Amino acid sequence: MFFSSVRMNSASFHPVMDYTVPLPAIDLTSGYNHNPDAPQLFGAGGYMEFRRNMYTSPLFAGKRFVHMGVDIWGEAGAPVYAFADGVVWGFRNNANELDYGPTIVTRHTFGDKELFALYGHLSLSSFDGLQEGMKISSGEQIATLGDRHENGGWVPHLHFQLSTAEPEAPDMPGVVSPEDLEQAVRLYPDPRIVLGPLYI
């Protein structure tokens, strides 16, 4: 296991957005408002949250609803930062309905272990000047939040997710089925390991 063999201290990592912790916890187990006039949310939450009746796109086939990342809500255009030194592993626009929209995956090395981080629901302008393999520094701004017209159709927020395995593409399953949860927890650990006590 990655975190049993690498000593991690969340205090040594940079926040991925501008906020003061703890943020208000937002519980989406009872649903979500996809209407275009839905109000902006502020707060964070979501790791291993069971979000039934929320992922209505055919992308999810009605069976995947356990959230494997942390969501941090903020206004479109808000800056997004690298949590640690690393490189840009890949990026692409996952432009399906209720998908991530513009997405960046970074790679980070801790001792002899690698950790991958996904930043989803970004602005298209976040790709300007970006190159695979380019170095990034802890605290460096690497993106901005996208609006609902470019971020997959969501109220503006960041989906931040970790993976202990190298992804096949600039994408990760942000929600999984309950049947796959045991394996998913091993692959996609709680992002608060690096973000700290983001919400309570």
Percent of the chain exceeding pLDDT 90 equals 82
Quote the pLDDT of residue 32. 87
Are 192 and 83 in contact by the 8 Å Cβ rule? The answer is: no
Indicate the pTM of the whole model.
Answer: 0.95
pLDDT in tens, 111-124: 999 999 999 999 99
Q: What is the mean pLDDT of residues 166-192?
A: 97
Percent of the chain exceeding pLDDT 70 equals 96
Q: Which domains does the chain have, with CATH numbers?
A: 19-29+40-195 (2.70.70.10)
Band of pLDDT at residue 6, cut at 50, 70 and 90? low
Are 157 and 145 in contact by the 8 Å Cβ rule? The answer is: yes
Q: What is the mean pLDDT of residues 160-176?
A: 97
Band of pLDDT at residue 57, cut at 50, 70 and 90? confident
Contacts of residue 176, defined as CB under 8 A and 6 or more positions apart, other chains included, come to 64, 66, 68, 184
